[in-house]
Amino acid sequence: MSFAYGNMSPRQTWQPLPSDQWNTDTAAHLLRRIGFSARPADVQQAVNVGLQATVKDAFKGREFDVPTKTWEAELEIQHLRRGMRNQDEKTRQELQKKIQRAEREAFSEFAMAWFDFARQPENSAQEKYVLFLESMFVVAHSKVKRGGVLYEHQNLLRREGFGSYRDLAKSVSRSPAMIQYLDLNRSVKGTPNENFARELMELFTLGEGNYTEQDVKEAARAFTGYNYTGNTDYYFSEFRFNPHSYDDGPKTVFGRTGRWNGDEIIEMVFEQPGAKLFLPRELCLFYLSETPVPDLYLDYLGDEWAKRDFDQRWLLQTVFTSQLFFAPEFRGELIKSPIHYYIGLCQDMNLDIYPVPQRLEGQLRSMGQSFQNPPNVRGWLGGKHWITASSLSARQQLVRNLLYPPNEKRLNADEKMRIEEAIEDDKGPFHVDQERLEPLLNKDSPDLINHLCRYFLPKEQTEEFKEQLIVHVRVPPRQRSERVRQALLALLQSPAYQLS
């Protein structure tokens, strides 16, 4: 595959995009990739303030507090747990059921609150990077179960995700969710469990081929003694080091022998040549192209990044302002993840996330990306792996749900309450109402379709594509509203809108 940037030197490709190339096209590309959508007003704003400032502002650092309902559910779990002592088996079983219910609630409220947060355009770039980090430091709800603990893991990524990647890796090794997910709590002197040490090297920092089995085995001994507590005053769970289970003997890792502890192992990992390439490579796969950027180009970036102590903010600023990032062959060629698709739709149409957690969960699951629940430790493979017959069908259904109001009669009491609550909270609308369509109805058909295509799609579409839509909306006025809605539906379901 030949890249148009092929005639630039690796160093040049990472230089900032010349300012005369900063325009609505490049700005829209940036916004769609660092966040979830590129609405014309946001694009114009980005053009006005400039590329460097836009990227800088996107990662300014915004806090996402513990969702209140997650917190309440976690308190209830604690309360119920305490109540289980000295009870007969029957009572304990009943309490156990209540605990499970509260656990589900703590988690689904976390999911709901996160979507609301990430959906706010000013948070989108940060939260998308958090999603990226979650795909590096994978934990899964199916194993960790507790919403509060998963929130804390995510928040760790948010809090430290813009500093040194090496320091982040150290913090992650102490994250209770990670300790549980990769069985570090079961890794003790004499019988170390290799899961964490292996994934640390293979999936978090180096990649296959950059370490030996021996390195994994020996490093695993350095991470013995890692464990976590139950609730503390400030956290749902906290790191605890148990010196009695720690193996303080000498270990030989990467050819060096010493009484290394976990942090020292991570230091050594980041001295390996693979470390400076790994994250930049993954970052490009996530944000830029499913086809890997050749190492030749990444080498330069990796070297510079390592010199800056693996600073993630520097890496993001450099990549997202680089000439390479804007190379024309990358534009409009990346398949949106289900979460990108969902939040992007809501932003594009100015909708709030439908406030019913079960609905959200169902939609995400059927599109193949359940919140905080990747299929395994490698995380989602993304790209073409998102696309199956059933996931496409689920994407189509999602658009339909956003364009046509739900049948009120089919909502249960709980759903109705959630919707009322959300409306009181000043949320909504949750689907495209007639009012939204009104301004479009008077445009003449080609104008309307050109407008919609430009608004929603990352690339200029072929005439044949547009013609199909134009023909569809060229109808007498009383049919127009329904036809425009159908055109919008098909447009947002179409392959073209799956791309970013």
Partner 1 sequence: MKNQYTPIAVTRREFLRGSMGGLGLVAFSGFAPSFLTSTARADVARPETGRQILVMIQLAGGNDGLNTCIPFQDDMYYNLRPDLGIKEGYRPISDFLALHPNCAGMERLYKDGNLSIIQNVGYPNPNRSHFRSTEIWETATDSDIIGRDGWLGRYFDNACDGDGHTSSDPMALHISDDTPGHFMSEKPHSIFGMPARGRIRKKNEDELALLEKLTQAPSASDTGSYLQHMMMDAIVTEKRVQNIVDRYKPQAKYQGNLGQSLQKVAAMIAAGLETRVYFVAQGGYDTHANQANGHSQRLGELSNALHAFQQDLIKHKLDDQVLTVVFSEFGRRPQQNGSQGTDHGAAAPLFVMGRNLQTPLLGEVPDLQNLQNNDLRHEYDFRQVYASVIQDWFKADPSLVLDGQFDTLPII
Q: How many other CB atoms are found less than 10 A from the CB of residue 190?
A: 8
For the record, the structure tokens of 89 come out as 């088996």
Q: Which is nearer to partner 1, 407 or 462 (by Cβ)? A: 462
Q: Which residues bind partner 1 (CB under 8 A)?
A: 1, 89-90, 93, 142-143, 182, 193-195, 199, 290-292, 332-335, 365-366, 368, 375-378, 384-385, 387-390, 392-393, 396-397, 400, 459-462, 464-465, 467-469, 472, 486-487, 489-491, 493-496, 498-499
**In the complex, least distance from residue 236 CB atom to partner 1, rounded to whole angstroms:** 20
Report the candidate in 62, 302, 34 with the shortest Cα–Cα distance to residue 165.
302
Q: How many other CB atoms are found less than 10 A from the CB of residue 464?
A: 7
Q: Which is nearer to partner 1, 61 or 292 (by Cβ)? A: 292
**In the complex, least distance from residue 362 CB atom to partner 1, rounded to whole angstroms:** 9
Q: Which is nearer to partner 1, 193 or 272 (by Cβ)? A: 193
Q: Which is nearer to partner 1, 323 or 396 (by Cβ)? A: 396
Q: Which is nearer to partner 1, 111 or 315 (by Cβ)? A: 111
Q: Is the peptide bond before 429 cis (omega within 30 degrees of 0)?
A: yes
Residue with structure tokens 């019913």? Answer: 356
For the record, the structure tokens of 284 come out as 């490009």
Q: How many other CB atoms are found less than 10 A from the CB of residue 330?
A: 21
| 3-state secondary structure (DSSP) of residue 483 | helix
Between CA 167 and CA 171, with CA 169 as vertex, the angle to 5 degrees is 70
**In the complex, least distance from residue 395 CB atom to partner 1, rounded to whole angstroms:** 9
Q: Which is nearer to partner 1, 16 or 375 (by Cβ)? A: 375
**In the complex, least distance from residue 48 CB atom to partner 1, rounded to whole angstroms:** 28
Q: Which is nearer to partner 1, 75 or 95 (by Cβ)? A: 95
Q: Which is nearer to partner 1, 24 or 366 (by Cβ)? A: 366
**In the complex, least distance from residue 9 CB atom to partner 1, rounded to whole angstroms:** 22
Report the candidate in 345, 373, 363, 361 with the shortest Cα–Cα distance to residue 456.
345
**In the complex, least distance from residue 213 CB atom to partner 1, rounded to whole angstroms:** 12
Residue with structure tokens 């709590």? Answer: 185
Report the candidate in 133, 269, 144, 149 with the shortest Cα–Cα distance to residue 207.
269
Residue with structure tokens 């024309």? Answer: 328
**In the complex, least distance from residue 426 CB atom to partner 1, rounded to whole angstroms:** 32
DSSP sequence for 36-60 = S---HHHHHHHHHH-HHHHHHHHTS
Say what the alpha-carbon torsion angle 311, 372, 429, 36 is, to the nearest 10 degrees: 40
**In the complex, least distance from residue 349 CB atom to partner 1, rounded to whole angstroms:** 17
Q: Which is nearer to partner 1, 113 or 197 (by Cβ)? A: 197
Report the candidate in 403, 470, 475 with the shortest Cα–Cα distance to residue 432.
403
Residue 357 contacts residue 111 (beta carbons within 8 Å): yes
Give the list of residues 6+ apart from residue 92 with CB closer than 8 angstroms, or none: 84
**In the complex, least distance from residue 194 CB atom to partner 1, rounded to whole angstroms:** 7
The DSSP letter of residue 145 is -
